[in-house]
Structure 1
């Protein structure tokens, strides 16, 4: 039926600031930036995967009423919308170090998990982003792993 996900939306409060962060710091590239009059259609993608984009969407009409947009902006700022994206890397520590050098602030340092190594950050608006270096091969999660993970949270 479906062959792939081509666009995923992330709410941002300022599209120019989002460009600075997603392109200038995280290394995405702009794939589309169109002023449609009633909204700005702003897509970014990883250079290694240009067919899968993130729509950096400002909450508002036409998809949301002004009242709903205000509620979404509040939820974004609180970081209450869950994970906006999980980005993969071959070396989590190296990626973490490179992004910290660019001024990216992290909420979690690289940590060994049962599924690999990952770390976490928030974009300038409050959206959660995780960076994961996946473990090779099948992963078995033990009760001890789950207990440790729950204790860390």
Structure 2
């Protein structure tokens, strides 16, 4: 029996900005867009990896979240401390240069880490940290 990662979830607070970043900057495919009332989910993923999905969701979509929790989530997103994801690239330096040329918010330039990988970090339009490490 094989267990794989199929989907992971990141919050977004602006659907057009999220689509622009993940499609036009990272080069991901838009796989699905679902609206429900005033909420909007977008599923994206890397071309050629149909089994790997990132679901960009409204931060307060869970009906069990209180108004206070929604405010906390919104504050944490604004600070960039709510969510993150680790991606990989076969050339992290070239990927970083491409992201930088497109005006992406830079958190960390490519760096050789003590734990053995070279990586960089940027922020998506919702404030999520996107770390990209050398494959």
TM-score per shorter chain, which class?
0.7 to 0.9
- The answer for the alignment partner of 2:110 in structure 1 is 110
- Which structure carries more relative contact order (alpha carbon 8 Å, separation 6+)? 2
Whether the aligned pair in 1 keeps the contact of 2:10 and 2:54 (CA below 8 Å) is: yes
- Which ranges in structure 2 are unaligned for 5 or more consecutive residues? none
Whether the aligned pair in 2 keeps the contact of 1:38 and 1:62 (CA below 8 Å) is: no
Report the aligned-residue RMSD: 1.8
CA distance in 2 between counterparts of 1:124 and 1:76 reads: 10
- The answer for the alignment partner of 1:50 in structure 2 is 50
TM-score (norm 1): 0.78
How far apart are 1:85 and its partner, in Å?
Answer: 0.9
Count of residues paired in the alignment: 133
User: Is the alpha carbon distance of 1:124 and 1:38 closer, same or farther for their aligned partners in structure 2, counting shifts above 3 Å?
Assistant: closer
Q: 1:93-152 CA distances to partner (integer Å, 9 max, x unpaired)?
A: 111111212222211111112422111111122111101004xxxxxxxxxxxxxxxxxx
- Which ranges in structure 1 are unaligned for 5 or more consecutive residues? 135-153
User: Is the alpha carbon distance of 1:62 and 1:107 closer, same or farther for their aligned partners in structure 2, counting shifts above 3 Å?
Assistant: closer
Whether the aligned pair in 1 keeps the contact of 2:86 and 2:130 (CA below 8 Å) is: yes
